Amino acid sequence: MAGLGGTWACDLSSQVLTWSEGVYDLFGLRRGSGLQRAATLDHYQSQSRGEMERHRAEAIRTGKGFALDCQIRSNGQSRWMRLRVGVGYEHGRPIHIFGTKQDVTAEKAMWDGLVTLVGNDPLTGLANRRAFEDALRELSRHAGSSHGFALAVISIDDFEAIRDQHDFAGAQACLRCIGERLGRLFPDAVLVSRIGGSEFALLLQAPAGAGSLAATLQAAHSLLARPVPQRGPAIGIGVSIGATMMKPSHRHDPKKLFAEADAALYVARAAGYNRLRVFDGMIATRVPVVH
């Protein structure tokens, strides 16, 4: 999925631009040709240009960089470009801005394709099992790309006991609450879904690898497992999580990806519930959970 792109810089006193060859290619311009900032701005779609100019001015004023996805035209075709900007200083004054410009057209198309697949679970409002399976199949096509992805399966522990003790309304309150918490904790998830019964699934971007994935899920675990408020006493719950990283071998076998996360979840439950495990190729890596 890696696209065109490269590095760039702009001198703020002269407005002279410096681009790497990949940025010329991204904009459809001859490598090494003269660059006039006003002319390059004509390649931006009008709304993207306005947003970029506002962010640029703010970055120069505050010294804080930014990242923005912009729509441009290159050789008559529409492209999406991810712009990253930093600010360079000398003697306390901003003298240049710099960063990267990367073609993310294919990535945008992938996300748009996933959005069209989503159907909703009527209780939680999250994506349902069918939507999850469709999204997993679509995402698996990109296994081994420059983007890292992961799957986590989350289960409310001993859900039947909750239903017996707090009746149907209490059980539904737990499901709705976990769905809301997952949505708040993972706003940038590719997909948050309820896949059936007391189980939920997360499709996540996880470019930093399994260690970063485990740390992210561990931080979320204590918040997910808080008692569920309701009329009357709050309902105490436990939450078990099994997770795995997407690998090139999953490209043609998305069911294997789910099986790995499910195996990690099984080990988490077998360890006494309210645990997190990450699949490590054998069965699952233990991740300690603070109670």
Please name each of the domains of the chain with its CATH number. 5-103 (3.30.450.20), 107-287 (3.30.70.270)
Rounded CA gap, 96 and 14, in Å? 10
Q: Which amino acid does the sequence have at 73?
A: R
- What is the CB neighbour count within 10 angstroms for residue 44? 20
* Pairing relationship of beta strands 191-196 and 93-103 according to DSSP bridges: unpaired
- Provide the angle, in degrees to the nearest 10, between the axes of the packed helices 254-270 and 129-140: 120
Which two three-digit tokens encode residue 288?
A: 């300690």
Digit-by-digit pLDDT tens for the chain (291 residues) are: 346 899 999 999 999 999 999 999 999 999 999 898 988 999 999 989 999 999 999 999 999 999 999 999 999 999 999 999 999 999 999 999 999 999 988 877 776 666 555 678 889 989 999 889 988 988 888 766 556 789 999 999 999 899 889 888 899 999 999 999 999 999 989 999 999 899 999 999 876 788 889 999 999 999 999 999 988 899 999 999 999 998 888 877 888 899 999 999 999 998 888 999 999 876 545 554 444
Total-model pTM: 0.60
Beta pairing partners, 72:
44, 79
Tell me the residue type at 189.
Answer: A
Instruction: Report whether 248 contacts 261 (CB < 8 A).
Output: no
Taking CA 21 as the corner, what is the angle to CA 15 and CA 25, rounded to the nearest 5 degrees? Answer: 100
Q: Rg of the Cα trace of the chain?
A: 23
